[in-house]
Amino acid sequence: MSHRGPDDSGLFLESGIALAQARLAIIDTTNGGHQPMASENDLIHIVYNGEIYNYGIERTLLESKGYNFKTKSDTEVVLKLYEEHGEGFLKRLRGIFALAIYDKRGGPGKEKLLLARDQFGIKPLLYSEINGTFIFASELKAILASGLVPRQVDSESLQQLLSLGSVYQPRTLVQGVYALPPAHYMVVDKSGSNLRRYWSYGLDRVAGLRQLPYLDQVEQFRLALTRSVKLQMVADVPVGAFLSGGVDSSLIVALMARETGGHVKTYSVGFEEGANATDESLEAEAMARHLETDHTRVVVTARDIEAHLEKFVFGLDQPSVDGLNSYFVSYAASQGVTVSLSGTGGDELFLGYPWFANIQNSFDGVYPKRGISFAHRLTTHLTSIIRGPNQHSVDTTGSVAFCEAFGRQYHCFGPRAANDILSASRRSTLSVHAFADDLLPCDELAAAELMDRASVFCLNGYTRNQLLRDIDACSMAHSLEVRVPFLDVELMDFALSLPVTSKLQMNIRTLAADASYAESGVKRIVCDASKKYLPQDFFTARAKKGFALPHADWMKGPLADVMAETLSWETVANAGLFDPSSVARIRKDFMDGYRPWSHPWLLMITELWRRQVLLN
């Protein structure tokens, strides 16, 4: 855990309880921020990872009620908020956090432990209950190091990993270890544990926004994002930003520059000449020049991949088909800053991914307008186009149909192929999944308009379980905290109070690969708010294509021997996770050009994880 907190560490220990913390000092870097931190009467103790962006406002309110503070840290504010508001304090927090509070005010035998996690799941919190002992930590490695949890892979989670490219929370890949769900808290006492929710998505929480003229909506969005960026720049250490060259990160950097009045440190990743990848780092450099940032372009070479592969897998903490880009840009940023802002979340809130347009096209003419029941027409229409052998019947609410349609937009192997790849012993204990078996919990706004529903679905699925999890793991591997201004509760409420046409204007060019931002109509309000700060030709040039590393080149080049060894028949058979013949076929198909790099890559990373994390 030292990589997550290299600046300080602490331990609270008494009969029946132990709390430990490794600290990355960001707000109040003095010893005043030391954790675990205790209340003045020594009856409440807290360990906490993350940042509360509105801690200054809450501190002022607490001082007006007579509370005195000994430090300048946000940890002390969180502790006193709990003292003042009890479990309701969580509704006041605006930030990224995973925390544990041990409260013994009830007296002997009535002690309780409260665990909580931020609204979007940006900071991780894992736990396990085994043989009467409750364990929690920020990473799997820490839980495994306790020696109390068997080092066994959960077969259903492994099937899910292969199908979707990541393990979907609350599952983890280790049997008996779970992730506390975002926007939830858990109270543990001698009677057991109780999970409760403190926040949820909602429509039209910004009253009247939907009815405003579009230009007024643009201005309101600009102000809301500015507030979020300003709050998330609060730190007593250097703050920078990832700059990909797309509209989301460029707008954030522009707002940061206006706030500081100086040169923001920015970072992007590129590749050595000839790499077969989508490298937009030169476009990022051009944007950096326009915004006058102190920019660093990191060129990743084949030698870098060889040197960092094991460190990457160890830092990842749990296998994923993604994460390498986050690892390298975080490595670069950590050389100059302790905190970096990211544009992550803009595509989800404001409908930038092509998945949204595809879903809109799939449901066009079937999914009715706002406020009209859609279940019967939806399920009737989709039965003929998405039902397959051994899959669910379409349910009367449309949730299964929606999950199946969305699952086809983004996955790795998919459910049927994932089942076939598992070893015979593991496969015999499982049934063949459909996408809906794993994705139904993501469909939280099933009664909303199609695109609002899809936005939340994406946040609960891909974003939470792959993107945010990988970003946190890979950045904290380098002792770097990444903050995401788009994923703010105020902005979330804002996005779900807008008409869809303010976010996405569908047209015949929306899905064209060469369409510019102006032509595609995606992230309409983000683009229009950005025109005040970014070059005008930025919006009429080609749109950002996304970030793609040259994995295939590396796996057929410098990583060929690693792939051959980790996916060899003997290795696969001894590990007992996958079917050796299936793995051999996947590797051959990839080498012959018939499979995407993601298939053998995920299998290779999983085997390396088994060695680096599970068995180490």
For 203-218, what is each residue's pLDDT tens digit?
Answer: 999 999 999 999 999 9
**Which SS3 state, helix, strand or coil, does residue 14 take?**
strand
What average pLDDT does the structure give for the chain?
91
Reply yes or no on whether the pLDDT at 237 is more than 80: yes
Q: Give the architecture (CATH level 2) of 209-350+462-540.
A: 3-Layer(aba) Sandwich (3.40)
Average pLDDT over residues 338-353: 96
Residue 221 — pLDDT band, cuts 50, 70, 90? Answer: very high
Q: What is the Cα–Cα distance from 250 to 26, expressed in whole angstroms?
A: 24
Determine the average pLDDT of the residues in 26-30.
92
Binding-site residue ranges for L-glutamine: 74
Binding residue ranges: 74, 269, 342-343
pLDDT score of 432: 87
Token code pair at residue 448: 């909303």
Cβ burial, residue 531 (10 Å; 0-12/13-18/19+): middle
| Band of pLDDT at residue 412, cut at 50, 70 and 90 | very high
Mean pLDDT of 150-166: 97
Taking only the tens place, the pLDDT of each residue in 246-295 is 999 999 999 999 999 878 999 998 887 555 666 677 788 999 999 999 99
User: Is the link from the previous residue into 389 a cis peptide, with omega within 30 of 0?
Assistant: no
The closest of 298, 282, 300, 296 to 240, measured between CA atoms, is: 296
Residue 514 pLDDT: 83
Least confident of 112-126, 241-255, 372-386: 372-386
Q: What is the Cα–Cα distance from 253 to 69, expressed in whole angstroms? A: 34
119, with CB counted inside 10 A (0-12, 13-18, 19+), is buried
Torsion of CA 226, 492, 539, 292, to 10 degrees: 30
Report the alpha-carbon distance of residue 398 to residue 379 in Å, rounded. 6
What's the average model confidence in pLDDT over 225-240? 96
Summarize the confidence of residues 410-439 as an average pLDDT.
94
Task: Give the residue from 476, 457, 341 showing the smallest Cα distance to 406.
Answer: 457
What was the pLDDT predicted at 547? 64
Give pLDDT, residue 274.
55
Q: Assign domain 8-152+172-197 one CATH number from 3.40.50.11610, 3.60.20.10, 3.40.50.300, 3.50.50.60.
A: 3.60.20.10
Calpha distance 267→265 (Å, rounded)? 7
CB count, 10 Å around CB of 211? 10
Chain segment 435-481, per-residue pLDDT in tens:
999 999 999 999 899 999 999 999 999 999 999 999 999 999 999 99
Q: What is the band of 511 on the pLDDT scale with cuts at 50, 70, 90?
A: confident
Reading the block at residue 599, the tokens are 């298939």
Kindly report the CA angle at 145 between 139 and 151, in degrees rounded to 5?
90
Long-range contacts formed by 372-380: CB under 8 A, 24+ apart:
374/398
The answer for 598, left when phi > 0, alpha when psi is -120 to 50, beta otherwise, is alpha
The per-residue pLDDT for 374 is 41
117: pLDDT strictly greater than 90: yes
pLDDT of 160 > 70? The answer is yes
pLDDT of residue 279: 65
CA–CA gap between residue 391 and residue 132 (Å, rounded)? 39
> What are the tens digits of pLDDT across the range 543-588?
656 667 889 999 999 999 999 999 999 999 999 999 999 999 999 9
d(CA 586, CA 597): 10
Indicate the domain borders of the chain.
Answer: 8-152+172-197, 209-350+462-540, 371-448, 551-614
Helix axis angle, 450-458 to 354-363, nearest 10°? 140
Cα atoms found within 13 Å of the Cα of residue 221, Cβ hemisphere only:
33
Q: Which residues are annotated as a binding site for ATP?
A: 269, 342-343
pTM of the full structure: 0.93
* Residue reference for tokens 């939907």: 210
What percentage of the chain carries pLDDT values higher than 90? 81
Is the fold of 8-152+172-197 the same as that of 209-350+462-540?
Answer: no
Contact between 257 and 531 (Cβ < 8 Å): no
Distance CA 495, CA 236 (A): 31
Three-point CA angle 152, 154, 155, nearest 5°: 125
Structure tokens at 107: 């007296």
Contact predicate 14/95, CB 8 Å: no
Write out pLDDT tens, residues 283-326.
Answer: 889 999 999 999 999 888 888 999 999 999 999 999 999 999 99
